[in-house]
Chain A
C-alpha cells in the first residue's frame, strides 16, 4: 500500500473523529444547563463554554508538547524526550506541506512524518482535553466562580491529564513499560483523573446552599429541564463513538510496530493490534450492562439510568480492546452499581455535593474499571511488539496506575489550586449572590430588559384598549 494513501487515510480518519467528539461537549453543556436551576443557567453554560477556547490555546502552547516530552516521567526511566513537531514555535504547528524545512525547528524527516498528521492528531487529543475539563465542570455548578473554574480547567485539560496520557497512554510511557499499565479507551487517563480532580475541587468548594438538611440528609436539587439532561446524555453517548475511534491508530504496517507479518492493522494507542469490530462489540455491550444495572438499582430513575450507561462504558473502557462482549457487559454492570452506591454513600457521609454525579460516574467507575482490567487481563502483554522488555498487565500495576490517575494527578493538583483560590477569596461566589442566582447578577441587564419589555407591552395593550 502506498505511504501517501496511508497518510491521507490517517489524516482523514482523525479529522472525522473531531466533529463526533465535539458532540460530547455539546452534550455536557446541555446536560449541565438542564441540571442547573433557572437562576443559574447562563452562568453554567458560559462556564463550560469558555473552557473550549482556554483549553484549546493552552493545549497548543504546552499540552501537546507535554504528551511527547514526558513519557519517561521525566526522571523515572529517562529524561525529557525531544519533540520538535510539538513545541508551539515549531513550523509543524501550522499549515505545512511536509517538504523542506524553512526554520531550524524541524528536519526534513520530521516534516515528512508529521506535516499532514500533526494538526488532526493534536485536535483529537484536544477534544479529549475538553472532555476532561468538562467532566469537572458539571460537578461544581451553581456556586463556583467562572474565573476560578477556568484556571482549573486549564490545569486539568492542558497539564495534568496530558501528563497522565504521556505516562500511561503512550506506547513508551513509563507506566506502560514499568507497571504494565493498560487503559486502552481511557478509564483512568481521562475519566478517573477527571473524577479525582472534581473531588479535589468539591471539598474546598463546599455544597450548594440548601443541599443538606440540618441533620445532614441530602436533598435532591431537581434539574429544571430533565429533557435537556436526557438529550445531553444521549449526545455524550453519540460523541463517545468518536472518542473510542480517536483512541486508535487506524492503519499501520505490521513491520513498523514489531510484528512479523507483512500486512496492515489498526492498533490501540499502545500500538498493539486491534479492530474496530472489537471495540464496537464492547462499546455497546458495556453501555448496555451499565444501563440495565443502573435502571435496576435506581428503580428506573432516568438520570441514573443514563449515567449508569456512561459509568458502565467508562468502567469497561480500560480493557474494551480485549474483553469478550459479555465480559464487557458484566464489567459495565459492576462499574455502574459501584458508581451509584459510592455516590450516595460519599454524599451522605462526607457531605460532598457533586451536582451531576461526575466523581462517581467518571472517577469511581474509571478507578474500578482499571482494577478489574488488572485481574481479567492478567498476563496479557501491555507493551507493543517493538519494545524489547515485555511488560505484562497485572492487578498491582493497574491498582497503582488507578491511584496515580485518581489521586496523584487528579485529586491533588486541583485540591491544592482550589485551596489557594479559596484562600484568595476567589473560589466561590458570595453567599448573597448564590442565593439570588448567578444569572440575576451576571446577566442582570437582560432581566431588567425583559421586565421593561413586559411593562412596555402591557402599556401598549392598555393604550389599544386590549386589556
Chain B
C-alpha cells in the first residue's frame, strides 16, 4: 500500500510515470491552488484598506504628522 504508484523500486523505469502522491487528484489540486491564490489577493486588499483607513485617521492629527515629518521622537 502506497500513496504513490511506486510500491518497489525493483521495476523497469519505462513503466514509471508520475511519482507524486495521489495521482489522479491533479485537477482538484489545481482548483485548491486557484482558491488559495485568489484568496490571498482578496485578503491583501482588505487588510491593506483597513490598515490605511485606520492610519490615515491617525496621521490626520497634525501633531503626530509633524513629529514624524520633522524626525523628532516617535509618538507615544
What residues make up the interface of A, taking CB atoms closer than 8 Å to B? Answer: 54, 57-58, 60-61, 88-103, 105, 111, 115, 145-147, 150-151, 426, 429-430, 432-433, 435-437, 440-442, 444, 447-448, 450-451
Contacts and interface: CB of A to CB of B under 8 A. Distances in A.
Interface in B3-25: 5, 12-20, 23-24
A91 B30 contact: no
Closest 7 CB pairs of A and B: A432-B59, A89-B26, A97-B16, A91-B18, A147-B44, A89-B27, A99-B16
A167 B69 CA distance: 49
B3 to A, nearest CB: 13
B55 A103 contact: no
B52 A430 contact: yes
A93 B74 CA distance: 51
Given A98-B16, A436-B68, 4 more contacts: A95-B20, A101-B17, A432-B56, A451-B74
B73 interface: yes
Given A96-B17, A97-B19, A99-B13, A105 B68 contact: no
A88 B30 CA distance: 7
B70 to A, nearest CB: 12
A54 B40 contact: yes
Nearest to A431: B56
B69 A435 contact: yes
Interface string B18-45: 1110011011011001101100110011
Given A103-B23, A433-B59, A61 B33 contact: yes
B69 A58 contact: no
A444 B5 CA distance: 51
Contact of B37 (A58, A90, A93, A437): A58
A57 B41 contact: no
B37 A147 contact: no
B19 A150 contact: no
B30 A89 contact: yes
Contacts of B12: 99
B74 A448 contact: yes
A111 B18 CA distance: 9
A450 B74 CA distance: 10
Interface residues of B, number: 37
A102 B44 contact: no
B37 to A, nearest CB: 6
Contacts of A88: 26, 30, 33
Given A54-B37, A89-B30, A90-B26, A98 B44 contact: no
A448 B19 CA distance: 50
A91 B26 contact: yes
B1 interface: no
B2 to A, nearest CB: 13
B48 A61 contact: no
Nearest to A57: B37
Given A435-B65, A436-B59, A100 B37 contact: no
Contact of B48 (A91, A100, A147, A432): A147
11 contacts: A94-B18, A94-B26, A95-B18, A97-B16, A146-B44, A426-B45, A430-B52, A432-B60, A435-B59, A436-B59, A441-B59
A432 B65 contact: yes
Nearest to A450: B74
Contacts of B29: 89
A100 B23 contact: no
A146 B40 CA distance: 12
A242 B44 CA distance: 33
B15 A99 contact: yes
A239 B60 CA distance: 44
A100 B17 contact: yes
Nearest to B36: A57
B15 to A, nearest CB: 5
A147 B45 contact: yes
A114 B14 CA distance: 14
Contacts of A61: 30, 33-34, 37
